[in-house]
Amino acid sequence: MKNAPDLFTLYEHTELMNKLREWDIAYHQNDAPIVDDATYDAAKKRALEIEELYPELAKNGASTSVGAAVSEKFKSYAHVVPMLSISDVFNEGEVADWFNKLTNKDIFIELKVDGVSYAARYENGILVRGLTRGSGTHGEDITENLKTIPDIPHKLSGDYPDVIEIRGEVYMKRTDFIALNSESDKQFANPRNAAAGSLRQLNPKITATRKLSAFAYTYGDISIRDFDTQSEYFEKLESWGFKTTRHWARHANDMQKIQNAYHEIMMMRPDIPFDIDGLVLKVNDIATQERMGSRANSPRWEVAYKFPAARAITTLRDITIQVGRTGVLTPVAELEPINIGGVVVSRATLHNADEIKRLNARIGDKVIVQRAGDVIPQIVGVAESVDGATDFQFPTICPVCGGNVVQESGAVARRCVNTMGCPAQRIGELEHFVSRKGFDIDGMGEKQIENFVSRGWIKEPADIFTLIARHGDEIKQLDGFGEKSVSNLNDAIEHARNIELHRLLYAIGIPDVGQVTAKILAREFGSMAAIRNAPVWKLKNIDGIGDIMADEIVSFMSDNHNATALDRLSEQINIINPEKIEKPTEGPLVGKKVVLTGTLSKYTREEAKEILEKLGATVTGSVSAKTDIVLAGTDAGSKLNKAEQLGVTIWAEADFEKAILN
């Protein structure tokens, strides 16, 4: 008999299931995922591992759950045959564990299309009902919506059973997704969200306006079956008028052929016009499928062999140059759009000219793109050098203003020297100024700033606060604007006039001054005037501000252009200075350097940081040998790993609370 789970394991499983249920509702009911595929898959995999050790937890666990409860907005009906999910496998070893247990090793390999599942019931060849997967036992009625999709016939062709429920996937081609986002105010994160949101409309007329496509791949209820294999069923589906993924299907009878198909499809992925997130491996013989049966939430005769969520292979279409607010030229990879971890990626950073040379990346090559969480996608390698691919020549003049591009001795970056006259640098500074971490002016993004700058309406930050008074009537006539949007923009600008000192310091774009340094400056000096007049020696004596940064701050504040711009800005805003914090002279945290990572259950990151600083600690962003403590919440990542390697003291939330309460 297996031991009962200890309290820690029980708590971990409960927390995992709470997260998974929340994420399932967001994904299946609201069509608005709140975590990427990698995060979801990792949590589900861990929950399944715990349930494998302690089967009593599986009753209401990940082993038995399917989808999410149906929404009250729709009528719902029971599935005659439960509509189960598919078990995921993530590597060759897990595939081998499944494959080696099979007695019939004739495997039919299909694409795992990243869309939304449907079930279409036909009686005497006529479509009578369409349902979503829903909870697996009950689905939402989407009959009229399915009828608007050209790939789903209203009447079957040829010879067909009296009753059959066709099951498949509704999806949106990437080109249709990009067109929809370019034409719509509502922006979908990826084609799967767009397909789900379009299919689950209360008004079928809206569904009809979206370019949805569909494949069929399996069946539920059936009155008589006159096919013996999955591959024969695909032929039947096509004879009835459905589209299938048969063109990409493969057969395999050993692990090597499965792996060959996996790598072949991975390389083909950017050329397939719709998103896939893996392969579906099925026992081809249907009699064997029926003998093997199902677990509580998934069949035993099939698995989904998932592609890595954080990486994908796609084509490098071009390399363009972005000029940043400091004049640095950054090469950007223009990619064939690809879905990575639930987000469609069409651009990625190449960092600098040296990185392009190191990768040996040429325009036209197949490249490996990596995305992790909110990190900007980047090219990490070349998967295949393609004949006819061309080398990229880094420009020697600025592509925006024509100014000279220089590379200072010992520096990697190449920079436009036309600091005052380069529009890209001005636009970049203004975008940084209005960003969420700066003045947070909603409705003033990249396109709007470019428009206003090109018309000469905004030349420096202070101009933003007089923009509506000077040009409000003209803005109403621009594409994308109107009475309401101009009013909203005006409200956002007025709200931004009151700003905390540390956010102002971040927003004005002092070189090397990020959020952490801005807060240090605000708390040390207490006012903008004090910072503007601070001598360099005083700045260098502040913990967290090095010699180079101190020089940058003094240089920025003493520049005549910057000083004049700050004077004009000060006339338009109200600066909220921080409360004076009396730092303690003794205590367990005085003088300690602390790094936060992961998610705390009782405190936000900012709340924890403020508490630590009030107790005399300095909160920094990266782990080093000088770090004293790493406070690690759930889902802690690389910072925790580095702390363990360096032997840094690691606190859980309970340790943190013990320290602040004593």
Cβ within 8 Å of residue 128, ≥6 positions away: 121, 122, 143
Q: Which residue has the tokens 């294999």?
A: 229
Q: Are 401 and 378 in contact (CB under 8 A)?
A: no
- Residue 577: DSSP 8-state: P
Give the containing element (helix H, strand E) for 127.
strand 126-132
Amino acid, single-letter form, for residue 187: Q
Query: DSSP for 194-224?
Result: HHHHHHT-SSHHHHHHS--EEEEEEEEEES-
Helix (H, G, I), strand (E, B) or coil at 3: coil
Catalytic residue numbers, as ranges: 112
| Exposure b/e, 320-329, CB count within 10 A at least 16 = b | ebebbbbbbb
- Residue 70: DSSP 8-state: P
The Cα 332–Cα 351 span in angstroms is: 8
The Cα 144–Cα 123 span in angstroms is: 16
Amino acid, single-letter form, for residue 353: A
Q: How far is CA 238 from CA 123, 216, 242, 275, in A?
A: 18, 9, 5, 21
Strand partners, 121: 129, 165
Query: Which pair of tokens denotes residue 427?
Result: 């636009």
The Cα 322–Cα 398 span in angstroms is: 10
| Nearest residue to 314 via CA among 354, 345, 355 | 345
